[in-house]
A and B are shown apart, each in its own frame.
Chain A
Amino acid sequence: MTFGIYETAGLAVILAVLAGIRLMSSVERAALGNRLGALSMLAAIALVLWHNGIVDARALYIAMAIGTLIGAIMAFRVTMIRMPQMVALLNGLGGGASLLVALSVILESHDIMVMPARITGQLALVIGALTLSGSLVAAGKLQGLLPQRPVHNRGAGVLSLLFLASIGALAVFATLADGRTAAIASFVVLALALGFGAHFTLPIGGADMPVAISLLNSYSGLAASICGFAVGDILLVSIGAVVGAAGLILTRIMCRAMNRSLIDVLTGSTGRAGGSAPPARPADAAPAAPHTAREMDPASILASASSVVIIPGYGMALAQAQTQVRALYDLLESRGANVRFAIHPVAGRMPGHMNVLLAEVDIPYERLVDMDTINPDFPATDAALIVGACDVVNPAANSAEGTPIYGMPVLRAEDAHSIIVCNMDRKPGYSGVENTLYGKDNVCFMEGNAAETLEGLIARIKSGAGGTAVS
């Protein structure tokens, strides 16, 4: 095939997609960029139908209509807190589509395929399959259908090697075999790759999901790209590669922000001495709490603060406290305070999750500040309000050598004049490391459901905080 009209038009589509991504670097124009991407995809579909002379194949339209309907329903019904599992599921479907195309091409035309196409066909089959099963497992974990804690099995590494070796050997065999034999080998490769995908996602713990989803995102792009090699399509190769690169960038950012290597995440190892057993809960933290609360009244701290930084974590989402956070933000702003939000890169269950949750309750995006920008501002901050976050504010990350979080970049909440913590309990976060912040004397810990705690705080600030402390 030469560089004909299809390739030329395809190139135009690719450039439009890239232009769309470029628009996403600005918040104001990101929605436009996304629409440009969608439009490019529509144009690409029309191009393929026309180029192959299949514009009147009715079955294709029925299949697309079914997919459109299901996709639209999913997109409109999903809540922001469930976005990670939605993205995981969609990743999986993309991988599944790639594996089906590869399988269809292998079954249809294996005998007339040249060697590079045969090899990439097997590769697309494998990567598509492990993207599918891996994503389904990840989505199941995020939805709470599968255990969220990291599972660390001895022998898992050996099993992975066995999977890889047998998949590799059978895939090579399939490329060398003829017709029927190749087809049977391909089905076995498919089954093994599905098993491997589930096997490597199962050990990954809940808070490591931002890494897992980013990686699966990368795989789904790679699967499409390699599938493009097998069918000789420039659009699949190019756009798939872009998605693969995007997933890779996010995977790297997430790993760095969690202070974990990709290998650690994939093997479910936390580097924790006690394994995955949950650390003992402090016998009874309650008696200490009223004592601190009397010395430092959180409502009057907030009422008199002129600069406040709110630090949200996944606990905020679990407590469904976004509305209360928004109400508190409005209240403090109306009293003349400058309120901003400090966003840690891995807060939540996927990259950028906190931003979406807060944008949903109409917090202006200028107030959502990333970690590196806001950290120098903490010493000049009157009050830091932590809502359902633990590891991302743990000062032990700077000092406690030998612990899993040592070296992890954290939000320096401890530098603020006063710190108010609205967490469910004083238990350590995902890392299992005790939060040394809780013990400081300028910290006021308010145990319990963040939505209720904040509700109470708001009421007391409104009624003239300080004088009538009744908590």
Chain B
Amino acid sequence: MGFLVLVGVFLVSAAVGYRLISNVPSLLHTPLMSGMNALSGVTVLGALAAAALALHSGSRMLGIAAIVLATINVVGGFLVTDRMLRMFKSGK
């Protein structure tokens, strides 16, 4: 991927994300944050590639450790968000 293409992706994503997230009601700000938190574990993708393709054992271990941390982030984040969102019930 060309560097400039990635810069474009970054800018467009940030702008679209900003618009979408502005519409989330303050009622849901806690689950919004934990959900976004889960998404920040997207690093797991980089970690998988880094760990599998590393030639040196040192950098492979770092990659494996990154997978563990990022997976805790992703799984913990999505599950806790789900738990919270299911608590919000309508009175009707």
Given the complex, which residues of B lie within 8 Å of A248, measured CB to CB? 18
Chain A, Cβ-Cβ closest to B74: A41
> A97 touching B33 by the CB < 8 A rule?
no
Chain B, Cβ-Cβ closest to A59: B64
Q: Is A388 an interface residue (CB 8 A)?
A: no
Given the complex, which residues of A lie within 8 Å of B1, measured CB to CB? 1, 7, 232-234
Chain B, Cβ-Cβ closest to A57: B52
Q: How large is the interface on B (under 10, 10 to 19, 20 to 34, 35 or more residues)?
A: 35 or more
- Given A68-B75, A72-B79, A245-B21, A224 and B43 contact (CB-CB distance below 8 Å): yes
Interface residues of A in 207-232 (CB under 8 A from B): 213-214, 217, 220-221, 223-225, 227-229, 231-232
Given the complex, which residues of A lie within 8 Å of B73, measured CB to CB? 67, 71, 90, 93-94, 97
Interface string of B62-80 (1 = CB under 8 A from A): 1111111111111111111
Minimum Cβ distance to chain A for residue B34 (Å)? 5
Minimum Cβ distance to chain A for residue B76 (Å)? 3
If over half of B's interface residues share one DSSP class (helix, strand or loop), that class is named, otherwise mixed; here it is helix
> A27 touching B28 by the CB < 8 A rule?
yes
> A364 touching B38 by the CB < 8 A rule?
no
Q: List the one stretch of A75-83, A268-276, A452-460 in contact with chain B.
A: A75-83
Interface residues of B in 9-55 (CB under 8 A from A): 9-18, 20-55
CA distance A235 to B55 in the complex (A): 24
Given the complex, which residues of B lie within 8 Å of A237, measured CB to CB? 6, 9-10, 13
Q: Is A318 an interface residue (CB 8 A)?
A: no
- Given A221-B39, A224-B40, A242-B17, A67 and B67 contact (CB-CB distance below 8 Å): yes
- Given A60-B51, A103-B62, A67 and B75 contact (CB-CB distance below 8 Å): yes
- Given A352-B26, A366-B90, A228 and B46 contact (CB-CB distance below 8 Å): yes
CA distance A248 to B60 in the complex (A): 33
Q: Is A368 an interface residue (CB 8 A)?
A: yes
CA distance A214 to B29 in the complex (A): 10
CA distance A90 to B79 in the complex (A): 12
CA distance A24 to B35 in the complex (A): 10
Pick from A67, A86, A367: contact of B69, CB under 8 Å: A67
Interface residues of A in 48-62 (CB under 8 A from B): 48-49, 52, 54, 57, 59-60
Q: Is A45 an interface residue (CB 8 A)?
A: yes
> A239 touching B13 by the CB < 8 A rule?
yes
> B10 touching A60 by the CB < 8 A rule?
no
- Given A67-B67, A93-B73, A101-B47, A27 and B27 contact (CB-CB distance below 8 Å): yes
Interface string of A320-364 (1 = CB under 8 A from B): 000000000000000000000001010000111101100110101
- Given A22-B20, A41-B38, A351-B33, A31 and B85 contact (CB-CB distance below 8 Å): yes
> A31 touching B82 by the CB < 8 A rule?
yes
Interface string of A1-38 (1 = CB under 8 A from B): 10100010000001001100110110110110111011
- Given A59-B51, A365-B89, A75 and B75 contact (CB-CB distance below 8 Å): yes
Minimum Cβ distance to chain B for residue A276 (Å)? 28
Given the complex, which residues of A lie within 8 Å of B15, measured CB to CB? 245
Given the complex, which residues of B lie within 8 Å of A220, measured CB to CB? 37, 40
> B29 touching A100 by the CB < 8 A rule?
no
Q: Which of B23, B43, B71 has the most CB of A within 10 A?
A: B43
CA distance A249 to B81 in the complex (A): 19
Given the complex, which residues of B lie within 8 Å of A71, measured CB to CB? 71-77, 79
Given the complex, which residues of B lie within 8 Å of A54, measured CB to CB? 48-49, 52-53
> A242 touching B14 by the CB < 8 A rule?
yes
Question: What are the 7 closest A-B residue pairs judged by CB atoms, nearest first?
Answer: A67-B71, A364-B91, A352-B29, A71-B75, A71-B76, A242-B17, A75-B79
What are 22 A-to-B residue pairs whose CB atoms are below 8 Å?
A41-B41, A48-B49, A59-B51, A64-B44, A67-B68, A67-B73, A71-B72, A71-B74, A75-B77, A93-B69, A95-B40, A97-B67, A97-B70, A104-B54, A104-B59, A107-B62, A229-B10, A234-B9, A245-B21, A246-B18, A250-B32, A352-B29
Kindly list 14 other residue pairs between chains A and B, CB separation below 8 angstroms, not including A30-B31, A60-B51.
Answer: A38-B82, A59-B51, A63-B64, A67-B70, A83-B34, A96-B66, A107-B58, A217-B37, A236-B43, A242-B13, A250-B32, A352-B30, A368-B27, A370-B25
